[in-house]
Amino acid sequence: MTDSPPPDLNKCLLAKLTDDDARVMLEDTLWPRGPICPHCSTVGAWAINGADTRPGLYKCKSYPCRKQFTITSGTALIGTLVPLNKVINGIRLYIVTDTKITAADMGRVLGTTYRTARLLKRRIKLMKLTESQRARLWSGI
């Protein structure tokens, strides 16, 4: 935890994030210098902006990698079906309670089942966010 007091919990959860806002916030936090390919660690990628393409899909600029990835690729969040706005709020709950929140409480606050909250909490723990990354996730409030 940082030395500064954590922001008000209710304020943080009242700040309604769209899934897109949450994705951008997570990208800014985990990729402060631009997208990083999880396959070859190259910094730099093209955003794929097709009509049928889901937002947040990138293609590595490095030849011969050129693989597609998203912010969750290569992280503990890969394959999660939990919307990213709930992931962000889950991370905030995890931080503000100094990792002591129970999965049942997290599920109640986020509006997910106990099982979903338990898996999300495990993924958040595995992310091993740095202090500056934690601070960045607060800054969007």
Residues that bind Zn ion (CB under 5 A): 37, 39-40, 42, 60, 62, 65
Q: Least separation, in Å, of the C-beta of 65 and Zn ion?
A: 3
- Residue with smaller CB distance to Zn ion, 27 or 105: 27
Q: Least separation, in Å, of the C-beta of 63 and Zn ion?
A: 9
**Residue 46 phi, psi dihedral angles, 5° rounding:** -90, 140
- Residue with smaller CB distance to Zn ion, 59 or 118: 59
- Residue with smaller CB distance to Zn ion, 7 or 74: 74
- Rounded CA separation 10/33 (Å): 31
What b/e sequence results for 49-78 when a residue is b if at least 16 CB atoms lie within 10 Å of its CB, and e otherwise?
eeeeeeebbbebbeeeeeeebbbbbeeebe
Give the distance, in angstroms, between the CA of residue 61 and the centroid of all CA atoms in the same chain: 23
